[in-house]
Amino acid sequence: MIKAIIFDLDGVLVDTKKIHFEALNKALKKFNYKEIKFEDHVKIFDGLPTNEKLKILNKKNKLPKKNFSKINKFKQKITSDILKKRIKKNLELINIFKKLYKNYKIAVATNAVNSTLKICLEKLGISKYVHYKLSNEDINVAKPNPEIYLRIFIKFGIYPSEALILEDSHYGREAAISSGAKLLPIKKIEEL
């Protein structure tokens, strides 16, 4: 029996693929590094925290590690600015969360940073219908590691088989499957 529903953020609750792509490229450009193609962002980087994206770029393009912090901070600032402008209250999503909140524990688990998570939940209007939320800053190892989900199971006092996880990215799905929970793969945000 399902007792908890766990939502990924990016690609499930909000369409942020282009936002993260745009913000990362602006940050790379500011520090005079080669920008990435959207196709690469979707195939290689989608669902990963910014630092993981930078590690991949370090291996491929010799992006120096000494600049990771500056690039990451600038990328997060741009992301926050864009999210505040583009994310709007979603009445359909609010109604879904209101109904689910009555019968299930609701969590949001994301590889995004806390500020992105907070902005999105508040702008969408669903923050008060979420029992628990975790970002990549609240865990030791990001998805595809299942740690983020295991922490939610412990918090809610449930077995993995009592959780349903909604994920869109390859890395998120891998984490969900590894956690032992049930997975509902999301291909497009409209499927929710």
Q: Across the chain, what does the average pLDDT equal?
A: 94
pLDDT attached to residue 168: 93
Question: Which of 151, 111, 143 shows the shortest CA–CA distance to 9?
Answer: 111
Residues 20, 29: Cα–Cα separation, whole Å = 14
What band does 130 get if pLDDT is binned at 50, 70 and 90? very high
Residue that the structure tokens 């609010």 belong to: 94
Which of the 8 DSSP states describes residue 125? T
Least confident piece of the model among 60-69, 149-158, 162-171: 60-69
Judge contact between 71 and 28, C-beta under 8 A. Answer: yes
- The pLDDT tens digits for 55-96 are 999 988 778 889 899 999 999 999 999 999 999 999 999 999
Residues 14, 83: Cα–Cα separation, whole Å = 10
Burial of residue 131, with CB atoms counted within 10 A of its CB: 0-12 exposed, 13-18 middle, 19 or more buried: middle
For 25, 26, 46, 82, 121, the CA distances from 30, given in Å and listed in that order, are 8, 6, 21, 17, 29
pLDDT attached to residue 190: 87
Residues 166, 172: Cα–Cα separation, whole Å = 9
pTM of the model: 0.89
Judge contact between 34 and 61, C-beta under 8 A. Answer: yes
- The pLDDT tens digits for 94-128 are 999 999 999 999 999 999 999 999 999 999 999 99
Q: Which two tokens stand for residue 133?
A: 């939320």
CA 135 to chain centre: 7
pLDDT attached to residue 48: 87
